[in-house]
Amino acid sequence: MRDRDIRTALTNALRRSHLADPYTAIIDELSIKRNGARIDVALVNGVLHGFELKSDLDTLSRLPEQVSAYGEVCDHVTLVVGERHVLTAIELVPDWWGIKVARGNSSAVEFRDLKLAQTNPATNPTAVAQLLRREEALNILITLGSKLDGTRASRKQLCSKLAETMEFSRLSERVRDCLRARQSAVIQPSCGD
């Protein structure tokens, strides 16, 4: 069983379980903008739930870095792991991460929840804001009436300003709106509105 087998089965399962929710988007390879880290599969609705995939053919060498990167931006995280890595994975991920075990083959993958994800106790507002593209951050600041010169400010500066000026729950909501709006299959109001 390969990574793509797990990814396909997980994405299909998430689509089936959220089919009736028009405010849910499933995003493959969501860039975290931190050292090139990417969330393998992101479920975006009232929360940002990241799924990191590790098949039996993968190694767990990058997992500590991924734990740190995911921990800055995700409300919940689930490690989806092949049976070979279960014992090591339990030791490497924080208590708030969920663990889902994948077993089977390329034609049929089954999942078993070993541990359900809990709420992340320490997201980073600046890192969450940096999930935005420059234009998205600028549009949100404009709607807030910010006096920042958007023609000269970099994406990083705009995101820092958002993190400083917006209440975190509202900032997270706006970021999720923008992430969902990028998905062509999901019709959303503009993330700047």
C-alpha distance across the termini of the chain, in Å: 44
The DSSP call for residue 132 is S
Nearest to 33 by CA among 122, 127, 159, 124: 127
**For residue 35, what pLDDT is reported?**
65
Domains of the chain: 3-115 (3.40.1350), 125-182 (no CATH)
% helix, strand, coil for the chain, step of 5 = 40, 25, 35
Place of tokens 């393998």: 40
Nearest to 135 by CA among 190, 184, 176, 187: 190
Q: Length of the chain, please?
A: 193
Residues of the chain with pLDDT under 50: 185-190
**For residue 190, what pLDDT is reported?**
47
Indicate the pTM of the whole model. 0.90
What are the tokens at 72?
């800055």
**For residue 83, what pLDDT is reported?**
93
